[in-house]
C-alpha cells in the first residue's frame, strides 16, 4: 500500500464512526479535518469532494459489519448455531458491532429520499443479509437439521426485519431490553424448525 493509499484509508477509518453517528449530511469536512488533523487541501488530494468520501465511508462501515457477522457465522458448527450467531452479533444494540450503530439503519434512513446511490447500496446490503440467512437455513434443511417444509426465504425476511427493528427501538430507548425479547423469540422460532 502506497503512502497515499495509507492516508486515504486512514481518513476513511477515522471518518467512518463520525459519519455513522452524526449522519452524512451533518458531518462536515471541518469535522474530518479535526479528527484526522489533516488540512482541507490534504483531504481533497484523496477525495474529490464530500460525496466521494461519504460513499467510501458507507462502504467501509457496511464491510466492517459484514465481516463481523461473517466471522461469527463461520465459527459456528451447525446451521442453528450460525443463525444464533447472526442474531447474537447484532443483539446488543447499545454496544453495536460497528461504532455508531447499524450502518444499514443509519445511512438507509438518511439516504431514502436524498441519495439514490447510497440508498441502492444499502438495499444491496439488506438483500445480501437476507440471502445469507436464507442460505444458512437452506443448508440446514439439506443437512437434515431443519424441517424441509420451512419457508426459508420468508423467514430470512422476517428475521432480518425483526432484528433491524429491534436494533432501532433499542437504540431509541437507550437500553437492550426489547432486543433481548426479540433475540429470544427469534431463537425460539428457529428451534421450532429443528428436526
Taking CA 93 as the corner, what is the angle to CA 32 and CA 21, rounded to the nearest 5 degrees?
Answer: 15
C-beta atoms surrounding 55 within 10 Å:
16
pLDDT for the residue 60: 98
pTM for the full predicted model? 0.94
- Please report, for the chain, the start and end positions of each structural domain, with discontinuous segments joined by +: 55-191
User: Which of the residues in the chain have pLDDT under 70?
Assistant: none
pLDDT for the residue 10: 97
pLDDT for the residue 75: 97
pLDDT for the residue 6: 96
d(CA 164, CA 89): 12
pLDDT for the residue 1: 77
pLDDT over 70, % of the chain: 100
pLDDT for the residue 110: 95
| Sign (positive or negative) of CA dihedral 10, 93, 150, 120 | negative
CATH class of 55-191: mainly alpha
pLDDT for the residue 195: 96
Amino acid at each position: 500500500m502506497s503512502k497515499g493509499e495509507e492516508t486515504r484509508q486512514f481518513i476513511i477509518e477515522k471518518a467512518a464512526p463520525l459519519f455513522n453517528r452524526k449522519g452524512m449530511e451533518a458531518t462536515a469536512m471541518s469535522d474530518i479535518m479535526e479528527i484526522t488533523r489533516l488540512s482541507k487541501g490534504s483531504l481533497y488530494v484523496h477525495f474529490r469532494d464530500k460525496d466521494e468520501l461519504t460513499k467510501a465511508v458507507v462502504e467501509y462501515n457496511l464491510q466492517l459489519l459484514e465481516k463481523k457477522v461473517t466471522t461469527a457465522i463461520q465459527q459456528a458448527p451447525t446451521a442453528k448455531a450460525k443463525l444464533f450467531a447472526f442474531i447474537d452479533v447484532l443483539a446488543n444494540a447499545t454496544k453495536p458491532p460497528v461504532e455508531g450503530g447499524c450502518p444499514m439503519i443509519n445511512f438507509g434512513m438518511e439516504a431514502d429520499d436524498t441519495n439514490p446511490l447510497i440508498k441502492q447500496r444499502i438495499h444491496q446490503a439488506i438483500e445480501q443479509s437476507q440471502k445469507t440467512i436464507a442460505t444458512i437455513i437452506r443448508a440446514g434443511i439439506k443437512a437434515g437439521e431443519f424441517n424441509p417444509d420451512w419457508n426459508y426465504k420468508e423467514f430470512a425476511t422476517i428475521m432480518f426485519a425483526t432484528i433491524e427493528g429491534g436494533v432501532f427501538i433499542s437504540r431509541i430507548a437507550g437500553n437492550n431490553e426489547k432486543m433481548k425479547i426479540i433475540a429470544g423469540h427469534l431463537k425460539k422460532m428457529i428451534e421450532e424448525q429443528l428436526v
